[in-house]
Structure 1
Amino acid sequence: MADDPKTLVSTDWLASHLKDPDLRILDASWYLPDAERDARAEYDEAHIPGARFFDLEEISDARSALPHMAPPVEKFMSRMRRMGVGDGHQVVVYDGAGLFSAARVWWLFRLMGQENVAVLDGGLPKWLAEGRATEDMPPIVKDRHMTVRFQNQLVRDVTQVSAASKLGAPQIVDARAPARFRGDAPEPREGLRAGHIPGSRNVPFSALLNEDGTMKSPEETRRIFESAGVDLAKPVITSCGSGVTAAVLSLALERMGKHDHSLYDGSWAEWGMFPTVPVATGDA
């Protein structure tokens, strides 16, 4: 894999840059309740040296009833200042699942106009499997200002997604498992209808990953999108259960050199709750 500090870097790359003064490492581990894992407790026990903990639930829009929606600009800036992450830093984000929630934090940084941010390919599991060092002490943090330029084109709301569903463009791509996409499996969140956004295509985020949690090559991911019926000539809106794994698709698209993608932040947590928007079942 070619390392790209704006999308995806290897454990070898991170190990060789660990002492860089302008490097900031973020542990963005987050799990669904059924995983029965405590991300913060795991961070406190062992993390990559120098890593700060990025709390996906706390660094979100507290005014929204929807889960972990993108935070207001001011809140993101204040939290990053407190974490000592700011202008001139190269950020590397990882998670404890391999490649799961880290992509969401990568997307959040991009949404805030930060481009020098990458996901650690294979995450903490690969780092540990290679016998690399961890520590249990939090880093010493100094305030750092971050200049934020919100990138409105990277996020979509229910009205914009509804229009795309009707018009067939942009192309909507759903990262959930096939059974949830078809409506055969119940949603993990209560009160949601089962199925998918009419006209959307299904590319389960796990299909883009190798067995060790690393991301497949841009050539392979392109073939997977195309075989799912995604027209890559059109702009793409990524979606999932609550806007987390949709970002894995966004990361894959960015690595493929496809930059006209956005993420439906409310995702199925919002669409499945709205009685006035249509739901499709079965295959796309």
Structure 2
Amino acid sequence: MGKALLKLVSTVGVIAMTAGAALASDGPLVTTEWLEENLDNPEVRLIEVSVNPGVYERGHIPGATNFVWHTDLVDPIRRDIASKEQLQDLLRQAGVDDGSTVILYGDTNNWFAAWGAWVLDVYGVENVKLLDGGRVLWEAEGRQVSTTPQEQEPGDITLAEADPALRARIGDVVQASEDGSSAIVDIRSADEYSGKVIAPEGFKETAIRAGHVTNAVNVPWSQAVQEDGRFKSPEELKELYAAAGIDGSKPVITYCRIGERSSHTWFALSKILGYDVKNYDGSWTEYGNAVGVPVTNLAGTVWTGQ
């Protein structure tokens, strides 16, 4: 094969990869098929954010860098998201450039991958996508995994200052509860919402009050996904939330227990449906422990310290 032809083939290959990355930017989700075809795409950076320890080490999608949600994406001292400097350094270590397409995925239906997407959005990172179905679907389809940690050439991404418009504080939630300025979506289970239980069994983070934010509607996060973990279609999501009075006509605040499940619903409402949404990451462990805030406890459960 002549040098001219080799150069042409190489150029076509680069164009094809770049086009593949461009396709990913057309929407907030990528399929397992697309990702498998783009594992070697230099424009793509793949990051796993799982909740269960050791999952990444036992086998991950080839080329993925591991972010540990409770040390990498949060402040280690204050209850807060990672600082701009902390996150920027982390992303650069993962090889992320300003022009990269970042694909996030994880276990438990992408709860913490969605949390990662929300944190990156707060700092203005563009072209951030979720792998639809997460690692559960990837494994169910028998796609390749690796046990070799990924090392990347350092990236050059520069983060913006945190955007407060994407984050609800407790004062925002109290105000919305009182005046209806924003719709509030509690995405926890029906038993958590009613106050029958304060937290799912086995979870340590809890509150001393049961129930939900007064005037919040309950749409459990699980109603937004199909059996295989992929999001429902935009049409189905619109119908689901409209039935609860969430139609995008006014701003929305999502919350759960510690902010990760609500990130999943934030992603559905904000990125898939295009609504104006803030995630309340303080969620019930802050709100249910706060003094003097309006709480509705339908079940009447009283915290006993047990």
Check the 8 A contact 2:65/2:151 in 1, yes or no. Answer: no
Deviations 1:225-280 (A, max 9, x none): 11123252111011111110111111111344324111112111110111221211
- Give yes or no for the alignment of 1:9 onto 2:20: no
Aligned to 1:33: none
Give, in angstroms, the shift of residue 4 of structure 1: 5.1
3-state DSSP of counterpart to 1:107: helix
Alignment of 1:35-74 (within 5 A): 37-38=52-53, 41-59=54-72, 60-64=74-78, 66=79, 69-74=80-85
- Which one has the bigger helix percentage? 2
Q: Distance in 1 between matches of 2:135 and 2:155?
A: 26
Query: Percent of pairs identical after alignment?
Result: 34
1:246 aligned residue: 262
Is residue 2:222 matched to residue 1:206?
A: yes
Among 8, 24, 27, which residue is 2:48 paired with?
Answer: 27
Q: CA deviation at 1:145?
A: 2.1
Equivalent-residue separation in structure 1 for 2:175 and 2:77 (angstroms): 25
Pair 1:159-2:175 in alignment: no
Instruction: Give the alignment partner of residue 195 of structure 2, picking from 170, 177, 183.
Output: 183
Q: Answer yes or no: is the 8 Å Cα contact 1:171–1:231 preserved in 2.
A: no
Residue 108 of structure 1 is matched in structure 2 by 119
Larger radius of gyration: 2
Quote how far apart the aligned CAs of 1:70 are: 1.5
1:56 positional shift: 0.7
1:106 Cα offset (Å): 1.0
Structure 1: gaps of 5 or more residues: 31-36
> Which segment is superposed worse, 94-103 or 42-51?
94-103
Q: Distance in 2 between matches of 1:21 and 1:191?
A: 45
Give the direction of change, closer, same or farther, for the CA distance of 1:155–1:191 in structure 2 (3 Å limit). Answer: closer
How far 1:282 moved relative to its partner? Answer: 2.8
Runs of 5+ in structure 2 lacking a partner? 1-22, 300-306
Distance in 2 (alpha carbons) for counterparts of 1:235 and 1:125: 32
Give the CA deviation at 1:190.
Answer: 3.8
TM-score where L is the length of structure 2: 0.84
Partners of 1:173 and 1:236 within 8 A in 2? yes
Classify 1:233/1:190 alpha carbon distance in 2 versus 1 (closer, same or farther; 3 Å): closer
Match runs of 1:117-266 below 5 Å: 117-149=128-160, 150-187=162-199, 188=203, 189-266=205-282
Q: Distance in 1 between matches of 2:103 and 2:232?
A: 19
Question: In the comparison of the two structures, how many residue pairs are matched?
Answer: 270
User: Is the Cα–Cα contact under 8 Å of residues 248 and 275 in structure 2 kept in the other structure?
Assistant: no
Distance 2:48 2:195 in 1: 33
| 8 Å Cα contact 1:94/1:124 also seen in 2 | yes
The residue aligned with 1:34 is none
Matched AA of 1:156: A
For 1:184, the aligned partner's letter is K
Deviation at 1:153, TM superposition (A): 0.7
SS of residue paired to 1:156 = coil
Please tell me the residue identity of whatever aligns with 1:235. Answer: P
State the alpha-carbon separation in 1 of the partners of residues 268 and 234 from structure 2.
Answer: 7
Give the aligned residue type for 2:141: E
Q: Distance in 2 between matches of 1:260 and 1:276?
A: 28
CA RMSD in angstroms, aligned pairs only: 1.7
Q: Distance in 2 between matches of 1:11 and 1:166?
A: 43
- Which TM-score applies when normalising by structure 1? 0.90
Q: What do residues 47-69 of structure 1 show as CA deviations (whole Å, max 9, x unaligned)?
A: 000000011101212232x4xx3
Distance 2:296 2:287 in 1: 11
Q: Deviations over 1:65-117 (max 9, x none)?
A: x4xx3112111112222222231111111112233221111111111101201
